[in-house]
Amino acid sequence: METTLGQNLGDTHHEHGPAGGIGRWLFTTNHKDIGTLYLWFSLLMFLTGGTMALLIRAELFQPGLQLVQPDFFNQMTTMHGLIMVFGAVMPAFVGLANWMVPMMVGAPDMALPRMNNWSFWILPFAFAMMISTLFMDGGAPNFGWTFYAPLSTTYAPPSVTFFIFAVHMMGISSIMGAINVIATILNLRAPGMTMMKLPLFVWSWLITAFLLIAVMPVLAGVVTMMLMDIHFGTSFFNAAGGGDPVLFQHVFWFFGHPEVYIMILPAFGIVSEIIPTFARKRLFGYASMVYAISSIAFLSFIVWAHHMFTVGLPLAGELFFMFATMLIAVPTGVKVFNWVATMFRGSMTFETPMLFALAFVVLFTIGGFSGLMLAIAPADFQYHDTYFVVAHFHYVLVPGAIFSIMAATYYWLPKWTGHMLDEKLGKVHFWLSFIGVNITFFPMHFIGLAGMPRRIPDYALQFADFNSVASIGAFIFGLSQLLFVYNVIACIRGGERATDRVWEGAHGLEWTLPSPAPYHSFSQPPVVK
């Protein structure tokens, strides 16, 4: 019975389309179906987390408590951060990897298709559990997405236990997803596809997957220690027993810093695909791009304490982490220069994906600059835990990670659906997003420098003006995303037929497949010269 249950569901042949009904999505082993699931899930989470952000911005529109009470505000901040990081950005990238990696390396599917399905389906359950904490006694986690002990241990609401298990589930999902990506890349490449011929999106995901496997278990470790401290009487994060609250932060950020690169390396990969296409010119410095990604990944393991400059690290530690952090600007700079050099003397056109990619380069770099400023420890004493930090990371995450995801969607959607997008609507979406994102997050630099701490529901009067500007921007940016949702749905339902190559300047295996791509990508491995 056990053996037949799994087997009789579909036939074992390659040449068949998807099964019908809901079963297609629940039981699928197909990388495209799973990619689609990931992407829809991510969009749903983006809207959920974004709605929370709008609530935050609405409360901060004016000084005084208007809409929510402080404790609920903290829950919103926490859930917004967690949902965006673990629910929106990471699954979106995994979804893109699922869709594109097999097509780009010339494989029939992911290496371990059943596990692939499992990686995805864990997520809705994990997030259902995490979001359900909003309705529990004492409320949802309210200690920030960084959940520092002892606020998250001794002083946490009871729902923290569910939060911990939800994090465990997300970790399991991410690790399995990453293993799958690595196995696919290392083992399923078409003949002739050597490592140094891999598309950069694939390279960036290979390194990202490595980071995931290296740090998600550490996150699991730290939440496990929390669980022990809360329920089983240990004292990891309690000085009374010889532990140290700061230990929590070390372990958390050993995960947390690589985590932020997990959210940007695939973006680098996407942009490195899009810019050459629309500049009609080969990517400048392919090899140095690969080395740069690898160096960034390596450095990401030795910079974690730049989030902890004010915890009172010994001087030597402070200096070490400052220097190491600053170094990251070098390989990142190489990437930025390479993108610019690719555009230089190209033959550029500005379709929607390219617009998002260009905005990415500029706005991500601005976010990188503020990152570099934060890396200067003595200056960070003034910036730390203010809106300057909030401005920094939204610049790298929203016009960084999120824009890259939008760019990727606009870029590859014709390949997925067989239809071209409404280009005009895409451009409107782009310009509204571009303007909205800057109105939202640029003023946060100012409020931060003026001295406004983050994670507060109410603020002193001198911060009021720029806060209302930022709130207005947030609504512009947020509501424009409805155009994106509409555009994607319209493209799935119909539209001008897409050619196989879709974009004039596109190169790579994925463009040799028909649009829409067949259910099983490459049943016969293509030969790469």
Partner 1 sequence: AWQVNLSPGSTAIARDVYDLHMIIFWICVAIGVVVFGVMLWSIIHHRKSRGAEAHHFHENTAVEILWTLIPFGILIAMAVPATATLIKMYDSADAELDIQITGYQWKWRYQYLGHDIDYFSVLSTPREQINNQEAKGEHYLLEVDNPLVLPAGKKVRFLLTANDVIHSWWVPSLAVKKDAIPGFINEAWVIPEEPGIYRGQCTELCGRDHGFMPVVVEVKPQAEFDQWLADAKTAAAEQEAAAEQEWTLEQLMERGEQVYSTACAVCHQANGQGIPGAFPGLAGSPIATGDVGAHIDIVLHGKAGTAMQAFGGQLSAVDLAAVITYERNAWGNDTGDSVSPQQITELNQ
Partner 2 sequence: MSTASYYVPPQSRWPILASIALFLLAFGAGNLINALSAGSSTTLGGLLLGLGALLMIGILFGWFSNVVHESMSGMYSEQMDRSFRWGMSWFIFSEVMFFAAFFGTLFYVRNLAVPWLGGEGEKGVSNMLWEGFQAQWPLMTTPDMERFPGPQQIISPWHLPLLNTILLVSSSFTVTIAHKALKTGHRSRIVIWLAATVLLGASFLVFQAYEYVEAYHDLGLTLHAGIYGATFFILTGFHGLHVTLGTLMLIIIWLRVMKGHFSAEHHFGFEAVAWYWHFVDVVWVGLFLFVYIL
Restricted to residues 85-124, the positions that interact with partner 2 (CB under 8 A) are 106-109, 111-115, 117-118, 121-122, 124
Q: Which is nearer to ligand HEA, 368 or 505 (CB)?
A: 368
Q: Is 272 a catalytic residue?
A: yes
Dihedral class, residue 223 (left if φ above 0, else alpha if ψ from -120 to 50, else beta) = alpha
Residues of span 236-275 touching Cu ion by CB under 5 A: 257
Interface positions, 18-77, toward partner 2 (CB under 8 A)? 19, 23-24, 26-30
DSSP state of 402: I
Is the distance from CB of 289 to CB of 272 less than 8 angstroms? yes
Give how many residues touch partner 1 by CB under 8 A: 97
Give 83 or 122: the residue with its C-beta nearer to ligand HEA. Answer: 83
**Nearer Cβ to Cu ion, position 257 or 281?**
257
Closest approach of Cβ 377 to Cu ion, in Å?
A: 13
Footprint of partner 2 on 314-343 (CB under 8 A): 314-315
Per CB under 8 A, the list member of 304, 466, 477, 484 interacting with partner 1 is: 466
- Rounded to 5 degrees, what angle do the CA atoms 149, 153, 155 make? 100
Estimate the crossing angle of helix 90-105 against helix 160-187, to 10 degrees.
Answer: 10
Please identify which of the residues 168, 189, 281, 307 carries the catalytic annotation.
307
Q: Which does 257 bind (CB under 5 to 8 A by kind): Cu ion, partner 1, partner 2, none?
A: Cu ion
Which backbone phi and psi does 528 adopt, to 5 degrees? -100, 125
Number of other CB atoms surrounding residue 291 within 10 Å = 12
Among 168, 307, 415, 520, binds ligand HEA (CB under 6 A): 307
51 binds, among partner 2, partner 1, ligand HEA, none (CB under 5 to 8 A by kind): ligand HEA
Residue 113 C-beta: closest distance to partner 2, Å: 6
- Beta pairing partners, 497: 419
Residue 427: CB minimum distance to partner 1, A: 15
Using an 8 Å Cβ cutoff, are 25 and 109 in contact? no
215: helix, strand or coil:
helix
Rg (CA), the chain: 23
Q: Which residues contact 139 (CB under 8 A, 6 or more apart)?
A: 71, 72, 75, 133, 157, 159
398 binds, among ligand HEA, partner 1, Cu ion, none (CB under 5 to 8 A by kind): ligand HEA
Tokens of 344: 């230089």
Q: Is 298 in the site for partner 1 (CB under 8 A)?
A: no
Name which of residues 57 to 116 contact partner 1 (CB under 8 A).
63-66, 70-71, 74
Q: Fill in the per-residue mask, 352 to 381: x = in contact with partner 1 (CB under 8 A), - = not in contact.
A: ------x--xx--xx--x--xx--xxxx-x
User: Cis bond leading into 526, ω under 30°?
Assistant: no
Q: Which is nearer to partner 1, 270 or 444 (CB)?
A: 444
Residue of 497, 501, 485 lying closest to 429 (CA atoms): 485
By CB under 6 A, residue 398 contacts ligand HEA: yes
